[in-house]
Amino acid sequence: MIADPAQRVEELLAENKRLKQELDAKTATAARAMASFQQRALLMEITRQQNEDLDRLAGELARSKKVEEERAREIEEAARLKSEFLANFSHEIRTPLNGILGYCDLLLREEGSRLTPHGRRDLSIIKSNARTLLALINDILDLSKIEAGRAEVIRESVETVPLVEECLATVKELLKGKEVETRCQVAPDCVRAFTDPLKLKQLLLNLLSNGAKFTDAGELVCTLEADGGALIVRVEDTGAGIPPDQLPFIFDKFRQVDGTSRRRVGGTGLGLAIVREVVNLLGGTIDVTSSLGRGSTFTIRLPGAVDASTLPLHAATAEEPVPLPAGTTTTVLVVDDDPLIQHLLRGQLEQEGFRVLVAVDGIDGLTMARESRPNVIILDIHLPKLDGWQVLAELKSDPALVNIPVVILSVEEQRARAFSFGACEYIVKPVEPDRLVSIVRRAVQPGAGDILVVDDDDDTREMVSRNLRRAGFTTVEARDGEEALLRARVVKPSMVILDLLMPRIDGFEVLRTLRAEGQDVPVLVLTGKSLTPEDQAILKEGLVRIVTKDGVAIEHVIREARKALVARRVLEAAKLPRILYVEDSPQNRDIVRRYLGGDFDLYEAEDGEHGLERAARDTPDLILMDLSLPRIDGWEATRRLKANAALRHIPVVALTAHAAREDQARARAAGCCDYLTKPIERDQLLTTIRKHLAAPVAS
């Protein structure tokens, strides 16, 4: 049966519609696939472009990094060159300034009575202008050092009253001709502070000088007071004041309230900038208030500078230097290659009664230190042959020289390094004559030998030792009583600082044992123990000084150490026999030096001529004479000694490598009273020396 055509057409139409729908669906799917492909292609192109951009940026960054690294190297090189320039600039400027100031002082001291009033006035003007120039140079150098991060902060106990008075005395020179009164007000709890004394002095001088410049009449007042543990420093003036619009900028570098060419006062605009930087270094803050035409007030706050845990609870009095007995000659060795400095220091120190020796380089300085054993050494840093740091290291590593106080005198500020190397004081050229003499006198006091510090607490022992070393002493430590007794027998300390409460053997037993063994060494008890009357009686029987562990303890320790050791050193120097050893071999001199150390006061000479000079100058009790000597041999030197009526009484012992009988005969014919051949045993040498020292002097 044939299907109905109409039905067939409908079926075909339906199939066609279905196929069309499938085609549309597939077309849509293809379109979506194409769109997705195109989108992916676009993303790939974008990614490619981004990668190209990233590569380009990476290249630019690499080039920029290279440029920055090159720039950093250039900046570093420029900073290095700047530092070298400033160091050279400092040296070249300070040296002639030192001469100007020094010779002005010498002229005023030596020729003051012969100068006319106009001459004295002219010298004062020269000196004042030199000080002004020095202050300007110091400002530039200080700011440069702070910016380079090389400024040092060394905190120590500071007596504030003399420091403030010294600053006011300096500023009074700027106020001559003005009707300005200066006043200083220091609260009782601020007479002692714990801060960097040089930095504090710099702050006061800059603020007071700034006030003096802008004050024509009225007063200039410096006030120190405490606020909790903080030190408040206030400087008030009745000057011109600061305009309100200028207040935010007064601490900027090179900024002045009136910086025009018509300004009334001079300056570089660095003073207040340095004040702010120094205050920041000390961990403090600074504020200013001002009324135009009525004056200004600068207020500095230094936290922790009067902390009760580190300072005395009562007003401290200035420590008086311990005077040396009459007739004691203090020898100062000046090691400096500048003839100008040599002449100035010699003139300033000899006027005060010191005997001055001069060395022109580091090697010469070490040689003279070993020969003359000076009481104090003044040492420059920049020296030919051997620089000052190496000289200082050699001095502090030599047992025979370690106790000699060394004062560094340099154009550079490197206190921390100097103190760590063992210097007792650091002063920057140029230095005032009075300050130089004061420092030398203080330096003479320590140095009588090792101090034995006995304490079982590591922190306390370290603190006491560090403070004593800083004051110029040398220390040996023991952590308990047993170790203390052992060290006391070996090193023979010049003083013992003793804790009482210790394990095993306590301080009382240590004291009893020391006294039972006949050791009369001074003992200072440093203890936190509450002492009963019985305890105090025991200690007094042992001739002991007592210091309680509190805020003021270390100040008492150093003061007592100075008093005890100066008295002991002077006493020992007075009673030790003086031996002159004439020997050209440094090794042999070192051996005999160690043999005789502590028992005799040893002088040394390197040849016969030098030996004759030393004998005439020092008049020793006995002479050890080598025979094979340069310039003048030992036989001839002995003959000349015995021909001198003032020296013939001195016994001369030949100490030589010549063992032949004819050499001995020649030595005895020349005047030697005994003959020892090298190598020599210590006991034999000591026995011979004591035999001839005890023998009656031949008429």
- Separation in Å, CA 559 to CA 265, 317, 482: 46, 12, 27
Find all residues with CB under 8 Å of 24, minimum gap 6, and list them.
none
3-state secondary structure of 227: strand
Of 129, 120, 124, the C-alpha closest to 96 is: 129
Entry pTM: 0.45
Q: At 565, list the tokens.
A: 């050791």
What is the rounded average pLDDT of the residues 320-334? Answer: 62
Cis peptide before 679 (omega within 30 of 0): yes
CA dist 670 and 41 (Å) reads 116
Confidence of residue 313 (pLDDT cuts 50, 70, 90): very low
Q: Are 270 and 210 in contact (CB under 8 A)?
A: no
Q: What pLDDT shows up at residue 575?
A: 61
b/e code 100-113 from CB counts within 10 Å (16+ = b): bbbbbbbbeeeeee
pLDDT 10s digits, 151-196:
667 677 788 888 888 888 878 877 777 888 888 888 888 888 888 8
Burial class (CB in 10 A: 0-12, 13-18, 19+), 591: middle
CA 415 to CA 582: how far, in whole Å? 38
Q: Determine contact, residues 609/631, Cβ cutoff 8 Å.
A: yes
Pick the range with the lowest mean pLDDT from 7-11, 459-463, 662-666: 459-463
Condensed to tens digits (0 to 9), the pLDDT of residues 529-580 reads: 555 666 666 555 545 555 555 444 555 566 666 666 555 555 554 567 889 9
Angle between helices 160-172 and 197-213 (to 10 degrees): 30
Closest by CA to 335, choosing from 371, 361, 367, is 361
Longest Cα–Cα distance of the chain, Å, equals 179
pLDDT at 654: 92
What pLDDT, on a 0 to 100 scale, did the predictor assign at position 534? 64
Asked if 373 contacts 402 with a C-beta cutoff of 8 angstroms, the reply is no
- Token pair 């000694």 is found at 641
Specify which residues 181 forms β-bridges with.
219
What does the mean pLDDT of the chain come to? 77
Cβ-based neighbours of 241, under 8 Å, separated by 6 or more: 290, 291, 292, 293, 294, 295, 296
Residue predicted with more confidence, 444 or 448:
444
Residue with the bigger pLDDT between 423 and 282: it is: 282
pLDDT at 635: 92
Is the Cβ–Cβ distance between 235 and 251 less than 8 Å? no
Q: Which of 30-34, 110-114, 331-335, 613-617 has the lowest mean pLDDT?
A: 110-114
pLDDT tens profile 616-648: 888 899 999 999 888 899 999 999 999 998 898
Q: How far, in Å, CA of 22 to CA of 495, rounded?
A: 114
Q: Alpha-carbon distance 400 to 680, whole Å?
A: 20
**Residue 678 CB partners (closer than 8 Å, separation 6+):** 588, 655, 656, 657
% of the chain with per-residue pLDDT over 90: 7
Residue 143 above 80 pLDDT?
no
DSSP collapsed to 3 states, 289-355: EEECCCEEEEEEEECCCCCCCCCCCCCCCCCCCCCCCCCCCCEEEEECCCHHHHHHHHHHHHCCCCE
Q: Which amino acid is at 223?
A: T
CB 87 within 8 A of CB 148: no
Q: At residue 392, what are phi and psi to the nearest 5 degrees?
A: -60, -40
Band (pLDDT 50/70/90 cuts) for residue 670 is very high
Separation between Cα atoms, residue 445 and residue 441, nearest integer Å:
7
**Does the pLDDT of residue 395 top 90, yes or no?**
no
Structure tokens at 587: 């090794």
Q: Which of 141, 107, 85, 109 is nearest to 413 (CA)?
A: 141
Q: What is the pLDDT of residues 191-216, one digit of tens each?
A: 888 888 878 888 888 888 888 888 88
Q: In this predicted structure, what is the pLDDT of residue 316? A: 36
Q: What stretches of 111-155 show up as alpha helix (H) in DSSP? A: 117-147
Give the model's pLDDT for residue 546: 52
**Residue 315 pLDDT > 70:** no
309 falls in which pLDDT band (50, 70, 90)? Answer: very low
pLDDT in tens, 589-599: 878 887 787 67
| pLDDT of amino acid 651 | 93
The pLDDT-based confidence of 317 (bands split at 50, 70, 90) is very low
User: Residue 262 pLDDT > 50, yes or no?
Assistant: no
Q: Which two tokens stand for residue 512?
A: 């009893």
pLDDT surpasses 90 at 310: no
The CA-based dihedral angle spanning residues 79, 82, 83, 86, taken in that order and rounded to the nearest 10 degrees:
-160
Non-local CB neighbours of 283 within 8 Å, separated by 6+ positions: 302, 303, 304
**What is the chain's length?**
699
In whole angstroms, what is the distance from residue 192 CA to residue 177 CA?
34
What secondary structure does DSSP assign to 25-83, as a single string? HHHHHHHHHHHHHHHHHHHHHHHHHHHHHHHHHHHHHHHHHHHHHHHHHHHHHHHHHHH
Is 461 or 569 the better-scoring residue by pLDDT?
A: 461
- Residue 582 pLDDT grade (very low, low, confident, very high; cuts 50, 70, 90): very high
- The mean-pLDDT minimum among 93-107, 418-432, 638-652, 676-690 falls in 418-432
